[in-house]
Structure 1
């Protein structure tokens, strides 16, 4: 009599031909379950207002600086306003919402390399606030803008406009500051702005990541366990107090001298 034919099973064993297939023999490899996401507040209202006010201010500064003439006084006021915003952001980077603080997006060289290799650690939260490349963009823009404002405070166009702090600086430094402010600094600022916009377009088109929407709504779709930024009325009142102090400081600086050539 012929022996029963045996059929190989997926686990390496054999079963007789025609024998019923058990549940565990028909299971397919399981897939990793999708992580549930929900809107998480990443950018608090003060940070969002700062961002969009800075966008408007920088565009207006470049435009009025290029046109010159009677718009120099407007250029001055805008420069003082941008200076106040920048100081506000420095303070807010210390006391603001979780993801607006510098400690949340200052990455070292090792973290930068991991990000570029796609090997970032979960505890680095590169997908929440600014990622390492975003850090370079943000810090670069802040630094260049701060230098532009500082040099504008002492600049002299040798026509009718000098910065309010011009009289406190030697002629040699005034000349260096004016040259940087009107030439190299201006071009560097425009270049960084274009790179910033290009990065936003790249992330939207190639990675399908919208970086603009969260800066409008404040929220990002993230895992439910992601810690959110504080954005309560207490936070907003604190931001208003800080901004008022920064504006007051800008007004005081302006009172120290003549119309500044920002």
Structure 2
């Protein structure tokens, strides 16, 4: 009897050791919540709000930047570019013109600082027997223009080709063939171009502007362009017609008089 009781005690004792008492899940949940609450409260004490003077400093910096931009950049107007290819009788020149647009959207030119030019020889009329060479002769000029005009403005920068006296001496059919070769190159130049922007400008030997009403009654496009540029530089364009200045332009194969 004693042995059986002893054995029962050992078995009950072993059962109690192998099967520990399970903890109440409610108590576990309460403990975990208490820890997370303590952790959250500790982090909240460590987090500090951004000082108000930092926000004020940021606001002042933004206001200062806006003021500098308005005073030093907006007042000067946006910078734009235009490109003219002058197809002369003895050579072809490219003129890259940089100008500003003021608040009234009027162009303001500076021919001393805002003009870059390059010339190649011979002129376009020399390629009457080598049509492909006419277009190829423009490539060096276009590379020059790409270096002068920012790439982001290529698509909005107009490029025009105006051939003069040397081309006027050729037959109309030959003129058109040379111009078409030039158009092929200009279409893929990256600049803004239309086919009718490559042409041979008219050229009479005399150009007269009536002083009283400033109307052109007999004219040469070539002479008028030179007259407009000369009077713009002198500051007499748009004023009293009697105070304008006449010009004599001597080209390689023609001469223009405009007054």
More helix by share: 1
Q: Whose radius of gyration is greater, 1 or 2? A: 2
Query: Shared topology, TM-score over 0.5?
Result: no
Per chain length, whose mean CA-contact separation is higher, i.e. which structure has more relative contact order (CA < 8 Å, sep 6+)? 1
Normalization by structure 1: what TM-score? Answer: 0.27
